[in-house]
Amino acid sequence: MSRLEEKTIKTEKIFSGKVISLQVEDVELPNGKTSKREIIKHPGAVAVLAVTDDNKIVMVEQYRKALDKVIAEIPAGKLEPGEDPEVCAERELEEETGYGCKEMDWLISFYTSPGFADELVHLYIAKGLEKKEDAASPDEDEFVNLMEVTLDEALALLEGQKIHDAKTAYAVQYLQLQEALKK
């Protein structure tokens, strides 16, 4: 088993924005040579697989500038500084969909792009959904359409690449697995 770690020799901060920051690190490789690593820092995020009492998945249809495309995703959002992921999951679910929930359980946390970014997504499953009095109220620069779809409909959306992101693909496959395990 060889040593794999890379030691940072120098860090150059390139950009600090409202969502991400970028730095380039000069690193010493395991063989003593040097290389550069381009690294995006991200505050981390939560995503919520919210399932209604009649077994529908709550999704938000949303334009993503990075993709120049409207896709359907499970509700998600960035962590505020110091925010507990479960609290964030409840907040994002209510802000984007208007739903509160009786149960919010952690499923998995994964890094989305370990090659260049430290973004960690915490995925939760929400059940016992209840519409709150007030409607959904996304961030002021966030525009979404709500959808509620069956598992079969979600699989068709995946097939048509309307669902097209890793966290949502994982969440839909999770439900498929639960269905298969029931049989």
**Residues assigned a catalytic role:** 140
11 binds a copy of itself (CB under 8 A): no
Q: What is the DSSP letter of 158?
A: H
Quick check: 149 binds a copy of itself (CB under 8 A)?
no
Is the Cβ of residue 53 or residue 181 nearer to a copy of itself in the bound state?
181
DSSP class of residue 30? T
Cα separation of 176 and 71, whole Å?
20
Per DSSP, 113 falls in state -
Does 40 participate in binding a copy of itself (rule CB under 8 A)?
yes
- Note whether 102 binds a copy of itself by CB under 8 A: no
- Residue type for position 25: E
Residue 179's CB is within 10 A of a number of other CB atoms, namely: 11
Provide, rounded to whole angstroms, the least separation between the CB of residue 94 and a copy of itself. Answer: 19
94 bridge partner residues: none
Examine residue 174 and tell whether it contacts a copy of itself (CB under 8 A): yes
Regarding 24 and contact with a copy of itself (CB under 8 A), the answer is yes
The window from 16-24, 49-57, 79-87, 129-137 that contacts a copy of itself (CB under 8 A) reads: 16-24
Q: Which of 17, 32, 81, 82 binds a copy of itself (CB under 8 A)?
A: 17
Query: Considering the complex, what minimum distance in angstroms separates the CB of residue 101 from a copy of itself?
Result: 23
In DSSP notation, 80-112 reads: PTT--HHHHHHHHHHHHH-EEEEEEEEEEEEES
Interface with a copy of itself, residue 151, by CB under 8 A: no
- For Cα atoms 95, 85, 145, give the angle at the middle one, nearest 5 degrees: 25
Residue 146 binds to a copy of itself (criterion: CB under 8 A): no
